[in-house]
Amino acid sequence: MRKKIITMDEAMDLIKDGDTIWVNSFGGCASPIDLNKAITRRYRATGHPKHLTVYSSFSFAEWREDSDVEGYICEGGADCVVIGFFGSLYGTAKAIQENRLEGYNLPGGVMSHMIRAAACGQKGLFTKIGLNLFVDPRVGQYRLNERSKRTLVHLVGEGDDLGLMYDCPNVDVALLKATYADERGNITFENEAASVDCLSVAQATHRNGGKVIVQVCRIVNNHMLPRSVNVPSALVDAVVVVPEQKQLTAMDGFYDYICGKYVPTGNILRACRDEIISKIGETSHRTDLHRAIAKRAFHELKEGQIANIGIGIPELIAQEVLDRDMLDKVHLSVESGHTGGLPLGGKGFGVSIGPDTMMDMARQFDFYEGGGLDICFIGTLQVDAKGNVNGHQAPGKLSGIGGFANISQTTKKVVFCMTFTSGGLEGSFDGHRVTITKEGRIRKFQDAIPTRSFAVENAYAIGQEVMYVTERCVFRLTEDGLELTEIAEGVDLQRDILDQMPFRPKIAAELKTMEF
C-alpha cells in the first residue's frame, strides 16, 4: 500500500497550479489552518501553487487581516474564491472589496449540499433556496466585485417548479483537519467540535481524481471501530501529523465538553461556558438594550421546540435559555450539525457545550430545509417597508450570507432580532422599562434595502410566521407588510419609533406592552 503518512512539504507537492481546493471548515471548528499556512509558505518561497480556486462553505482563518492561513489567497496565489461566510477571513474579504480577487458568496447550506451533490456525480444542485434573494440570477449579487464575471447560479423551471441550479465544482484538492488517523489512513474527528462536510468533501474530491489531504494530531494503531471512522482510508491520499494543532482556531487547549466526550449539566455547564468564553473572548460588546431584545425574543420559544440560534444578538437568547433553566426543555441547534446543549457565538460560533448529537452539516441542513425547525432566531441589519430583510451586507463590510437564507426561508416561525438604530445608540433597560438616551446614526428600517437575504414573497408562499423584535418594539409580518404590535414601557411611540422610520407601518388596534 502506498505511503499515506507524509511530511507537510510532501503534502504541498500534491497541490498544483490551477487546482480547485475545497477547505472543510466551519469558522473555528475543524479548520485545517496548518495546511493553509503551509500553502502560504510554499507560495511565498516559490510563487507556486498559483491560479487556485478556493471553495469553503464557511470561513476558515483567524479573524485578522495578516493571517497566514489566507496569505496565499490574498497575495496572488488564488484567482477566485467561492465562500459561504467570510466571518474570520478578514484579508480575503478586504482583497475582494479592493477588487484584487475574484469573489462569490453563496448560501452556506447550499454549498454543503453542493459538495454532497458533487460526490454523487451531479453537475449541479437544484434547490429553491435563494429564490428572490441576492443570489437569484435575476439579481446576481452573489458576484462580489467587478472582477467576478462567472455565472454560478441559473434560474430553471417555471411556476411551482421554479428554482435555482447551482454549479457543482470539480474539486482537485480537499483540505481537512481531523483528530486521529490510523496507520492505514482511516480518519476520525472525535476531538473536533464539528465534522462539517468531511465525508462529502473527500468523496467528491476522490471521485474527481483529486487529492484528499488531512492534518491530524496523532497516528494511532490500526483497528479503529468502523463506526468511529468519519473518512475511510480509501478516500485519503495524504495524512500530515501536526501534534500542536488547535482544537478550535481561536484558542489553545483541549476541552472535552465541546466534542461530545463530556456532557455537563447545571452549574457545571455554566462553569464550562465561563471557561471557554475566557479563552475565546466575548463575541462583542453587549449592552442592556441587546439583552432586552433577547429577553423579549425568548418568550417565543416554547417547551419541546427545536430552534436554531444564529450569530449576533440571538446568542444572548441561548444564554436566556440557560439562565431560566430551560436548556433541558428545548432543543437548541446550530447549522454546523449540533442539536442540544448550549450554542456559543462569535469566534466560538458553530460550537455547542454538551450537545445531544453532532452530525455532518448537510444532514442538519436537510432537516432545516425540509421545514423541520419550529423556530429560528436570526440577527438582522436592515428591514424595508414590506418586511424584506438584509442580514448579510453591512456598509463597508463583507460578511457573507452563511446559513441565513437556508434557515430563514424554510423555518415555520422566524424571529429577526435587531436594535432599532445603530451607530451610537445608547439607552438603558431595568428589566421592565426601556429608555433611549441617544439615538443611533443608522436607521435599521428603510424604504428600500440594498440586498435581500429574506424575501416576504417566499414567506407568504409557505405561510411563515415572521416577527421583528427590537429593544423598543415588536413588528409582525402581515399581508399588508409590517404591523407594529408591541411597544416597551418607557418608549414614546412618535419620538422613538415613528420618527425613526422613513415609512409609517400599520399599527395594531390594540398595541400591547412588551413583556420581558
Q: How many CB atoms lie within 10 A of CB 499?
A: 10
Q: Which three cell numbers stand for residue 450?
A: 440594498
Q: Which three cell numbers stand for residue 177?
A: 483537519
Instruction: Report the alpha-carbon distance of residue 359 to residue 354 in Å, rounded.
Output: 14
Separation in Å, CA 475 to CA 372, 387, 442, 463, 482: 24, 9, 19, 17, 6
Query: If DSSP codes are grouped into helix, strand and coil, which group holds residue 407?
Result: helix
Instruction: Report the alpha-carbon distance of residue 504 to residue 484 in Å, rounded.
Output: 10
* Amino acid at the residue 92: T
According to DSSP, the residues that pair with 81 across neighbouring strands are 54, 103
CB 272 within 8 A of CB 266: no
Catalytically active residues, by annotation: 335
Question: Which residues fall within 8 angstroms of residue 272, CB to CB, at 6 or more apart?
Answer: 255, 257, 264, 353, 354
Which residue, among 399, 381, 406, has the nearest Cα to 391 in the 3D structure? 381
Which residue, among 436, 455, 502, 499, has the nearest Cα to 133 in the 3D structure? 455
Which residue, among 70, 61, 54, has the nearest Cα to 26 in the 3D structure? 61
CB 105 within 8 A of CB 87: no
Residue 349: half-sphere exposure toward Cβ, Cα within 13 Å:
27
Instruction: Report the alpha-carbon distance of residue 361 to residue 57 in Å, rounded.
Output: 10
CB 198 within 8 A of CB 215: no
Question: Which residues fall within 8 angstroms of residue 307, CB to CB, at 6 or more apart?
Answer: 301, 330, 331, 332, 333, 373, 374, 375, 376, 377
Query: If DSSP codes are grouped into helix, strand and coil, which group holds residue 341?
Result: coil
Question: Which residues fall within 8 angstroms of residue 177, CB to CB, at 6 or more apart?
Answer: 24, 25, 30, 31, 32, 33, 34, 35, 192, 214, 215, 216, 245
Q: Which three cell numbers stand for residue 356?
A: 445531544
Q: What is the CA radius of gyration of the chain?
A: 23
Report helix angle 361-369 to 108-119, nearest 10. Answer: 110
Q: Exposed, middle or buried by CB within 10 Å (0-12, 13-18, 19+), for 274?
A: exposed
